[in-house]
Chains A and B, each alone.
Chain A
Amino acid sequence: MKKNILKSDGVQAVIASLICVVLGVFVGYVILLIINPDGAFEAIVAVLKNFMTYSRPDSQLRYFGNTLVKTIPLILCSLSILFAYKAGLFNIGAAGQYCVGICASLYAALAWGWSWLPCLLLAVIVGGIYGSLVGLLKAYFNVNEVISGIMLNWIGLYLTNMILSAVKEEASPYTINIRTANPDALIPSLGLEQLFNNNQYITIAIPLAIIIAFIVYIILDKTRMGYEIKATGFNKDAAKYAGMAEKKNIIMTLVIAGSLAGMGAAFLYLTGFEQYIVTSSQVPSMGFNGIAAAFLGGLNPIGAIFSSFFIQHISSGGAYVDKSIYASQISDLIAAVIIYLCGFVFFMKVVMNNMIAKREANKAKTGKEGGEN
C-alpha cells in the first residue's frame, strides 16, 4: 500500500501551521471589514507587507533588519517554551525570565560598565536561576508551574522596574542609552550590518540565535538528556519507573528554559534597539508571543525560527496600518488575532487526521464493493 504523504508528521505540522496562518489573516481581515470596510484590504496588505511597504530596496533592507533584530528574542523565548513543553511543563514564566534577563543585562552594562559578553552571560544565569524557582516549587511542593510562573512574572517585572530605576535617564522613564553610555556592552556585528544597509542594530545575535536553535534541536533529538526530558514529558510515571530522577529533570529543564529566555532578553537589549521603560505596568509580551511561536513552529526548534519571524513580521507590519482610518490599537489587535489563531496548530492536526481517516474508511468501503463486482 502506498504511504499517504499527508500522514507524515512533519508534513502535517507544516500544513497545519500554514492553515492557521491563512485563517488568522482571514479573520483579521474580517475584523477590519467590520470596523471599517473602506480601508480593510489596504490595511491587511500593509500588515502582511511590513518592511516591503517601502519602495526603495535599501529602506526595505534596513527595515527587514529591524524585524530580524526583534525576531531574535522571540526565537529564544519560543525555544524556552518548547524545551519545557517537551518535558511536559508549560513555561508561561518565560515572560518573567525574559524580564529579569533585561534587568541583569542592562544593569550590568549601565551600572557596572561590563562589556557585552559578561552582560550576556549574567542575563543567562539570572534567567536560569529565575526559572529554577518555578522548578523547585514544582518539584518539591508540587506547585503548578503555570500558577507560580504567572506570579513570578509580576514579581520579575516590578523587581526589574525597581532595579533599573537606578540607571534611567533623568528626565524620562527610559533606561540610559547603551550606545552613548557604554558602547562596549553592545553585541558586536563583525560587519554583518553591511548586509542590511548599515542597520546599526544588526549584530552576531542573529547567527547566534540560529545556532542555539540547532543546538536545542540536537539536545532534544540526539542526546541522553533529550531522551530523558522527552520520556518525562510523554509519561512521567514511566520515567519514574525507569529510575530517572524526576525532580532533578523538572528543575534542570526549567533552568535551561529560563536561561534561554534570559539570553533572548540580552540579545535584544544589548543591541541598543530598545530602551527599557522603568514604569512598565505589563510584563513584556515577548514571553507570551513565544508560546504562539512555539506552537506555530510545530514545537520544533527549527520550525521556531520561521514561526518567530512570521509572528514578528505581522507584529511589525501592524505599525503600517493607516491610523487615519483605524484607531491606533488596530495594529496590536490584528497581530493578536493572527497570533491567537496560530495556537490552533494542534487542533488543525486533529481535524486533518480525522479527514484522512474518514476518506480511507470510505475508500475501503468502495474498494470492497468494487472487488465484489
Chain B
Amino acid sequence: MEDAYAVEMLHITKKFPGIIANDDVTLRLKKGEIHALLGENGAGKSTLMSVLFGLYQPEEGIIKKDGVEVKIKDPNDANALGIGMVHQHFKLVECFSVLDNIILGAEPLKKGFLDKATAKDKILDLSKRYGLEVEPDAIVEDITVGMQQRAEILKMLYRDNEILIFDEPTAVLTPQEIKELMMIMRNLKAEGKSILFISHKLNEIMEVADRCTVLRRGKYVGTVETKDTSMEELSAMMVGRDVNFHVEKKPAHIGDAVLKVSNLTVASKRHKNDAVKNVSFEVHAGEIVCIAGIDGNGQSELVYGLTGLEPIKSGKIEFLNEDVTKRSIRHKTEKGMAHIPEDRHKYGLVLDYTLADNFILQTYYQNTYSTKFGGFMKRDAIIKNAEKIIEKYDVRSSQGPNTIVRSMSGGNQQKAIIGREIDREPELLIAVQPTRGLDIGAIEYIHSQLVKQRDEGKAVLLISLELEEVLDVSDRILVMYEGEIVGELDPHTVSEEELGLYMAGAKRNEVKA
C-alpha cells in the first residue's frame, strides 16, 4: 500500500506546570519517506520526540505503529518497535572503537564471549549497503565528526531499526559533510527506512524531505509537501510572520586597530598539541570581524586566551595600544573589553542569582553599586540598573529584576548577557556563538545589536559556526582550521562553497595581517 503510515502520533497533548509543550499535535510518518519536523526553539519538537521515545507520557493522544495503537512507556519499548535516534550531541564512548560503540548494549555473544568478528562483518555489510563509510577499528576520539555521525547511524541500522530520527544532524557538519549526509538519507529511504528529520534549516528541508510538519509554540501548524511549498512559506509557518533573512547594514567605516594579536599560542586542555598556533590578526573600530570554522578548531581557546580565562603559552595581545598580555581579566574589562561567552551557563551567568545581581557581575565593586566604606551593596541602584537593561534590551522574565535567572528561557538569558555586555559601552565586543540555540526572532535582534555596535564605531569580534551568520553579519572573515588562521576572506565576494573548503582545511591563503 502506497500510503501506509509507519508511525502516527495523533492529537498528542503534553503539559508541564505552567506550559503546554505539545497542544493537540499530530504527526504521521509514511513508510519510506523523509519527513521533516520544523519549528523554532521551544516549539515543542524535543517534547514530541521524547513522547515518541517513551521519556514522557502524554496527557492526551495516541501513538500508532503500522496502524496499531501502541503504548511506549520507556525507551526500551521504542527500541523494540524499531525506533532509533541520532542525537544532536552524539552518545558515543570516546575511548572505544567504532565497532565497540555500535554493538554497545546489543553485544553479540558466542558461548558467553563477545563475538566481534560476526559483528564486524555485519557492520561492514551495512556500511557498504548504505554508503556509510567508517573504519570499525578506529577509536572514536580520533575520527572526524562526520564519521562519528555515521557510526551513530550504523548503531541504529545494526539494531534493525526501521524508523530513524535525526535530531538536527547538520549542526556540527561542514557543507561537504552535509551533502554526504543528504546522500546517506536518500540511500536509507531507497532501502525502505522511514526518516524523521528534525531541523530549523529550511534549505536542507527543501532539499531532502518529502513532507514537512511545522510546529509553533507547541501547536500543530500544518503538514505540507515540500514540492508544493517554498522557503518563504515554511518560514512564515514556523515564525508566524514574515522574516527578514538578511541583515540590513550600511558600509563599514573602519577606524584604528582596537585589538592587535601577534603570534598567539594557546595550549589545549584536551590533547597535547596547541589548540591555537601562532595566530596573528587585528580588529579595527567600526568593523565586525568574524572567525569562522568548524567547532573544535581552536576558536574557543583563542577567546579564552584573549579574555584571560585560560593562560596563553606565548604571543602578545595589545588592546587600545596597551600590552594587556599579562593583565587581569578585570583590567581588560575596565578598559572596555566585553565578552559574550560561548557557554552562557558556565561563564556568562550565575544561574542562582537574580537578574539584577547578574547585571552587576563585573561592576559590583564600583561605587555605583556598593559603598566605599564597609562594602554594603546599594540595592536601589542595582534594581534601577536592572530595570534599565530589562527595558532597553527587552529581557523578559516573570518577576523582573528579582527573577532567578535559572528560571528564564535560554533566549532571554542570552539577551540578559548581551544587554549587560553592550550596556557597559565596550570598545571591543567579543561575541562567541551569540545566537546558538535561539529562535529566528531572537537571532534577528542579536544581529541588529552587533551591527549597531559596529555602526557606533566599536570593534566586534564574532566567533560563529553558522555559515549564514558568518556571511551575513561580518565585514571580514578569518577562517580557523586546526588552530591556525588559514584564510582571510571578503564576505561580499566569497561563496558558501568556497568558505566551506577553507573551513574543512582543503584550501588556504596567506593572511595579510
**Which residues of A are at the interface with B, using a C-beta cutoff of 8 A?**
222-225, 227-228, 230-231, 234-235, 237-244, 357, 360-361, 364-365
The verdict on B374 contacting chain A, using a C-beta distance below 8 Å, is yes
Hey, what's the 0/1 contact readout for B35-50 against A, CB within 8 Å counting as 1? 0000000000000000
Given A227-B357, A237-B346, A239-B350, 6 more A-B residue pairs with CB atoms under 8 Å apart are A223-B374, A227-B377, A234-B351, A238-B361, A240-B309, A365-B59
Which residue of A222, A224, A364 is within 8 Å of B365 (Cβ)? A224
Asked if B169 is an interface residue, CB under 8 A from chain A, the answer is no
Q: Total number of A-B contacts with CB less than 8 angstroms?
A: 74
The stretch from B84-92, B328-336, B489-497, B502-510 touching chain A is: B328-336
Task: Give the shortest distance, in Å, between A238 (CB) and chain B (any CB).
Answer: 5
User: Is B350 a contact of A223 with CB atoms below 8 Å?
Assistant: no
Q: Which listed residue, A222, A234, A239, A244, touches B377 by the CB 8 Å rule?
A: A222
User: If the complex has contacts A235-B350, A241-B348, A365-B59, are A357 and B374 also in contact, measured as CB distance less than 8 A?
Assistant: no
Taking the closest CB of chain A, its distance from the CB of B304, in whole angstroms, is 10
Which among A239, A240, A357 has the greatest number of chain B C-beta atoms within 10 A? Answer: A240
Instruction: Fill in one digit per residue for B306-340: 1 if any A CB lies within 8 Å of its CB, else 0.
Output: 01010000000000000000001111010000010
- How distant is A3 from chain B, measured CB to nearest CB, in Å? 11
- Compute how far the CA of A72 lies from the CA of B365 in the bound complex, rounded to whole angstroms: 34
B353 near A242 (CB under 8 angstroms)?
A: no
Using known A-B contacts A364-B15, A364-B17, determine if residue A242 contacts B362 with beta carbons closer than 8 Å: yes
Q: Determine whether B445 belongs to the interface, using a CB cutoff of 8 Å to chain A.
A: no
Measured in the bound complex, the distance between the Cα atoms of B17 and A357 in whole Å is 7
Contact with A along B344-376 (1 / 0, CB 8 A): 001111111100010001101100001000111
Contacting pair A224 B377 (CB below 8 A): yes
Q: Quick one: which of A222, A241, A360, A364 contacts B376, CB cutoff 8 A? A: A222
- Of B15, B352, B357, B375, the contact of A223 (CB 8 Å cutoff): B375
User: Are A224 and B375 neighbours in the complex by a CB distance under 8 Å?
Assistant: yes
A31 to chain B, nearest CB (A): 37
Neighbour of B333 across the interface among A243, A357, A364, CB < 8 A:
A243
Shortest beta-carbon distance, B380 to chain A, in Å?
A: 13
Whether the Cβ atoms of A360 and B361 lie closer than 8 Å is no
Minimal Cβ-Cβ distance residue in B for A226: B377
Residue in chain B with minimal CB distance to A1: B18
Report the bound CA distance from A239 to B330 in whole Å: 11
Please state if A243 and B328 are interface contacts (CB–CB under 8 Å): yes
Say which residue of B328, B347, B357 sits within 8 Å of A241 (CB atoms). Answer: B347
Min distance, Cβ B420 to any Cβ of chain A, angstroms:
10
A243 adjacent to B59 (CB under 8 Å): no
A241 and B329 in contact, given A357-B17, A361-B17 (Cβ under 8 angstroms): yes
Query: Is B375 a contact of A242 with CB atoms below 8 Å?
Result: no
| Docked-complex contact B353 and A234, CB < 8 angstroms | yes
Give the docked Cα–Cα distance between A235 and B347 (Å). Answer: 8
**B residues less than 8 Å from A224 (CB atoms):** 364-365, 370, 375-377
Which residues of the partner chain A approach B411 to less than 8 Å between Cβ atoms?
none
> Given that A223-B370, A223-B377, A227-B377 are known contacts, is A237 also in contact with B347, CB under 8 Å in the complex?
yes
* Closest CB in chain B relative to A61 CB, distance in Å: 39
Which residues of the other chain, A, contact B352 by a CB distance below 8 angstroms?
A: 234-235
